[in-house]
Amino acid sequence: MSQHKLTSIEIQCLQEAVTSDYKIAGIRLREGEYQYELSKAIASFQLEFYLPNVKDLIKKIHGEDKADDVQLIRKTQTVLKKMEKSGVTKILPKTKPWELQRYALSSFKFIDIEKNRVSFATDEQIKLAIEKIKSVVNQQNITTLRTNSVTLCILAFMTTICYIVMLWSIMQPTINPVIFAATFPLSILCSIMLGKVLSKTT
């Protein structure tokens, strides 16, 4: 299971699932049936802050050797699509065109079509997940702030240097067109980028 920095959409999905109360599902969620097993598998991944694709789910439910079974992949994708239409799962947008679609539960608690209350995580697991999400968000905010601060310093330095060189060039008896032509657009570009970084930090 690969670890990566969570995107804003992934964080939103995780937050919605752990903070959601019982949701109405337009499908039966009975233990032993495939949609139940898929929901259970997605929940186990989601509690580890990983949003699985169809092959991840097949490996977990059926074993590694079934991950490339085309018929099973199609069957699983069909059931997952029904689950999405029934409000049980969400399909996340792909970050890269060649990636498989990834799935998340819209909640860990459902009232299925037969009015049964079904939970795919304990209250303790949900509580721990909420705390972990807060920690991850805070850590990512700190990292983003540090990155923005470094970028800000570099751009401010480059902008200052460009303007100093431009002023020096203008103050010379003969203006060097090459220096002026090189520093003028660069100073404008740095100023624009500086403005964008500043707008993100405020």
Q: Is 133 within the bounds of a domain?
A: no
Q: Please check whether residues 117 and 146 belong to one and the same domain.
A: no
Question: pLDDT-derived band of residue 143, with 50, 70 and 90 as boundaries?
Answer: low
Q: Is 131 within the bounds of a domain?
A: no
For tokens 């702030």, name the residue.
145
User: Contact 49/136 with Cβ under 8 angstroms?
Assistant: yes
Q: Please check whether residues 75 and 103 belong to one and the same domain.
A: yes
Position 20: which residue type?
S
Q: Is the pLDDT of residue 200 over 70?
A: no
Q: Provide CB contacts within 8 A for 69, sequence distance 6+.
A: 58, 62
User: Contact 45/39 with Cβ under 8 angstroms?
Assistant: no
Q: Please check whether residues 19 and 98 belong to one and the same domain.
A: yes
Position 40: which residue type?
K
Q: How many residues does this entry show for the chain?
A: 202
Question: pLDDT-derived band of residue 135, with 50, 70 and 90 as boundaries?
Answer: confident
Helix (H) or strand (E) holding 43: helix 34-46
- Residue with the larger pLDDT of the pair 151 and 98: 98
Q: Please check whether residues 49 and 114 belong to one and the same domain.
A: yes
Number of domains in the chain: 2
Q: Is 127 within the bounds of a domain?
A: no
Q: Is 1 within the bounds of a domain?
A: no
- Name the 3-class secondary structure at 33: coil
What whole-number percentage of the chain has pLDDT above 90?
48
Q: Please check whether residues 105 and 164 belong to one and the same domain.
A: no
Mean pLDDT of the chain: 84
Q: Please check whether residues 34 and 95 belong to one and the same domain.
A: yes
Q: Please check whether residues 187 and 158 belong to one and the same domain.
A: yes
Q: What is the pLDDT of residue 105?
A: 95
User: Contact 107/18 with Cβ under 8 angstroms?
Assistant: no
Q: Please check whether residues 22 and 117 belong to one and the same domain.
A: yes
- Reported as a single tens digit per residue, the pLDDT across 53-80 is 999 999 999 999 998 999 999 999 999 9
Domain with residue 56: its CATH number is 1.10.10
- Reported as a single tens digit per residue, the pLDDT across 77-129 is 999 999 999 999 999 988 788 889 999 999 999 999 999 999 999 999 999 98
User: Contact 59/66 with Cβ under 8 angstroms?
Assistant: yes
Identify the domain boundary among 121, 154, 170. Answer: 121
What's the whole-model pTM score? 0.67
Q: Please check whether residues 188 and 100 belong to one and the same domain.
A: no
- Residue with the larger pLDDT of the pair 20 and 150: 20
User: Contact 72/58 with Cβ under 8 angstroms?
Assistant: yes
- Which domain, by its residues, includes 111? 8-121
Q: Please check whether residues 27 and 109 belong to one and the same domain.
A: yes
Q: Is 115 within the bounds of a domain?
A: yes
How buried is residue 150: exposed, middle or buried, by Cβ count under 10 Å (0-12/13-18/19+)?
A: exposed
Identify the domain boundary among 91, 121, 151. Answer: 121
Question: pLDDT-derived band of residue 2, with 50, 70 and 90 as boundaries?
Answer: very low
**Mind giving me the DSSP string for 134-179?**
HHHHHHHHHHHHHHHHHHHHHHHHHHHHHHHHHHHHHHSSS--HHH
Q: How far is Cα 151 from Cα 154, in angstroms, rounded to an integer?
A: 5
Q: Is 187 within the bounds of a domain?
A: yes
What whole-number percentage of the chain has pLDDT above 70?
87
Q: Please check whether residues 16 and 77 belong to one and the same domain.
A: yes
Identify the domain boundary among 121, 149, 177. Answer: 121
